[in-house]
Each structure stands twice: as structure tokens, then as C-alpha cells.
């Protein structure tokens, strides 16, 4: 039996999603919780990595039910949550087909980014938003976001890991890049087939720079669809991890 779990977490205080020698990542802690319940070694696979400080409302992972464990999928939820810190929660567990893969079966992902615009940042938004007390031009922000929709080469919006090759593909398809005004400021929403390393934060940084008048819209547009391993221009700013949340993965 293969089990699919839906996970929410506050990314503060953890070293991102992906396993590390320190053992203080979301993946490490959930894997440890499963092993404590099952008394067996297991390996979980997530839908994708989130960086240190990035949050999730709907991260997805899967694992194969350990041998000899007959527990109902629903019962895994409370069993795992008793082994996890309060800032990580398994929200749902369901049986899926053996060919399901949390990463490779995903059709799209949605991220949200919160821009807090109040002169004084409310303490409940600390660590959950990018505080920008300087006002933005909403129309310019929305126009910059609209540039991202469609299939583009996003190499200017990708941080380098050091393992890139000539075959690295930087093309991604974005189906939504929207701006919603709320009392606290703005929520930016991105939905796409996949995202490069730190891509959403770099997209956000460039759009904010344009809305602040620090980047011309034609120069912003020119960042897209560059060719060659070294783009002539790169996104001018990587937004902080605080405001970013993985909200949904579709299959």
C-alpha cells in the first residue's frame, strides 16, 4: 500500500524540506515520526523542496506502508502528529495507487506570497510576510506579474545550485500570476507546471522592484526568454523566504 500525506508547516526554525545531515528538516522529522510509529526504516518522497523559512499549507509526500502495519490510513494522521512538533502537522492521509509519486505525478503547484504594507508590521505577520512599508504601485505590480504568464525561459529567475549543465532546461509554464489586495497589503499567487530553485522569490523580487519604480517594465520584460548559460540580466532581488507558502499541489 502506498500512502499519500498532506502536510502543513511553519517553516521558521527548520532547515527547509529536504533531508540534511543535521536532521532538522521537515522531511527528516516526518520520516522519523513514521519510523517511530512503525518501528521500521522508511523513505518518504515530497512533491518538491521548500527552502529554509518557507511555509506550506499543502505540501504532499508519499511513502510505502511498512510491512506488517495494518493501520487504517486515517489513523496515521493522529499517530504521526503526536510525534511531530506543533509547527508541523499531517492534515490528511490516503491510500493511492502504487505508481503514484508525490513529485513526478504532480501536474501543477501553487505558491502564495504575502506583502505586508502597514507602516508597523503586526507581530502575527512577523516571519510570515515581507514587510514593505513603502507603498507600491498596484497597477505596475499587476502588469509586471502578467509578464510571467505563459511558457518562458526563466533562467534569469533561477538561483544557481552549481550542478547545472548545458542540458538544464529553464523553460516553465505559468498559468496564474495574480495580485490580490487585502487589508494587510497584497497576496501574490503563482500557479505553474513547476518552478526552478528560488524562482518564486526571484519573480516576486523583480515585480516588487518594478512596482517601486526601481526597474522599468520594459527592462523587467526583457529578463524573460534570454538564451545562453549566462543571461545578460538577472532578477534584481530575491524576496525573503518569510512571505512564501506552498499552498497546493494538483495531481
Contacts of 43-48 with CB under 8 Å at 24 or more apart are: 45/101, 45/102, 45/103, 46/17, 46/18, 46/102, 46/103, 47/102, 47/103, 47/106, 47/109, 47/249, 48/17, 48/103, 48/106, 48/109, 48/194, 48/195, 48/246, 48/249
Give pLDDT, residue 167.
Answer: 54
C-alpha–C-alpha distance, residues 80 and 42, integer Å: 13
The yes-or-no verdict on residue 161 having pLDDT over 80 is no
pLDDT at res. 160: 80
Enclosing domain of residue 29: 2-96
46 is a domain residue: yes
- 233 and 136 within one domain: yes
Q: Which of 87-101, 142-156, 179-193, 230-244 has the lowest mean pLDDT?
A: 230-244
Residues 115, 91 within the same domain? no
pLDDT in tens, 76-87: 999 999 999 999
- Read off the pLDDT band of 231 (50, 70, 90): confident
Share of residues in the chain with pLDDT > 90 (%): 87
Cβ 96 vs Cβ 64: under 8 Å: no
Which domain-ending residue is among 74, 96, 118? 96
Residues 132, 199, single domain; the answer is yes
**In the chain, how many domains are there?**
2
Which one of 10, 28, 51, 242 is the catalytic residue?
51
Per residue in 171-212, pLDDT (tens digit) is 999 999 999 999 999 999 999 999 999 999 999 999 999 999
Tell which of 96, 124, 150 closes a domain: 96
Predicted local distance difference test score (pLDDT) of residue 134: 82
The tens digit of pLDDT for each residue in 107-121 reads 999 999 999 999 999
Residue 30: name the closest of 71, 85, 70 by CA: 85
The per-residue pLDDT for 227 is: 76
11 domain residue, yes or no? yes
pLDDT at 230: 66
133 and 188 co-located in one domain:
yes
Q: Check residue 233 and give its pLDDT.
A: 85
- In order, the DSSP letters of 61-111 are EEEEPPTT----GGGHHHHHHTTS-TTEEEEEEEEE-TT--TTTT--EEEE
Side-chain half-sphere CA neighbours of 190 within 13 A? 27
Catalytic site residue 51? yes
pLDDT above 90 for 51: yes
% the chain with pLDDT above 70: 96
Q: What is the CATH number of the domain that holds 127?
A: 3.30.70.660
Residue 232 in this model has a pLDDT that exceeds 80? no
Amino acid at each position: 500500500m502506498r500512502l499519500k500525506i498532506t502536510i502543513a508547516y511553519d517553516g521558521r526554525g527548520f532547515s527547509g524540506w529536504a533531508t540534511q545531515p543535521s536532521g532538522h528538516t521537515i522531511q527528516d522529522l516526518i520520516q522519523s515520526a513514521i519510523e517511530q510509529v512503525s518501528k521500521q526504516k522508511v523513505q518518504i518522497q515530497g512533491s518538491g523542496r521548500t527552502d529554509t523559512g518557507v511555509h506550506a499549507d499543502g505540501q504532499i509526500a508519499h511513502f510505502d506502508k511498512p510491512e506488517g502495519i495494518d493501520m487504517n490510513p486515517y489513523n496515521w494522521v493522529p499517530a504521526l502528529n503526536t510525534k511531530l512538533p506543533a509547527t508541523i502537522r499531517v492534515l490528511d492521509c490516503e491510500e493511492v495507487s502504487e505508481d503514484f509519486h508525490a513529485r513526478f505525478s504532480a501536474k501543477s503547484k501553487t505558491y502564495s506570497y504575502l506583502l505586508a504594507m502597514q507602516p508597523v508590521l503586526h507581530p502575527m505577520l512577523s516571519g510570515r510576510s515581507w514587510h514593505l512599508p513603502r507603498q507600491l504601485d498596484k497597477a505596475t505590480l499587476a502588469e509586471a506579474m502578467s509578464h510571467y504568464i505563459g511558457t518562458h525561459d526563466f533562467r534569469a529567475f533561477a538561483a544557481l545550485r552549481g550542478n547545472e549543465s548545458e542540458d538544464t532546461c529553464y523553460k516553465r509554464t505559468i498559468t496564474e500570476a495574480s495580485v490580490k489586495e487585502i487589508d494587510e497589503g497584497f497576496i501574490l499567487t503563482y500557479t505553474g507546471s513547476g518552478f526552478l530553485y528560488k524562482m518564486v522569490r526571484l519573480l516576486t523580487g523583480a515585480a516588487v522592484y518594478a512596482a517601486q519604480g526601481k526597474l522599468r517594465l520594459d527592462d523587467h520584460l526583457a529578463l524573460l526568454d534570454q538564451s545562453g548559460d549566462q543571461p545578460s540580466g538577472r532578477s534584481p532581488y530575491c524576496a525573503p523566504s518569510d512571505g512564501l507558502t506552498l499552498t497546493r499541489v494538483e495531481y
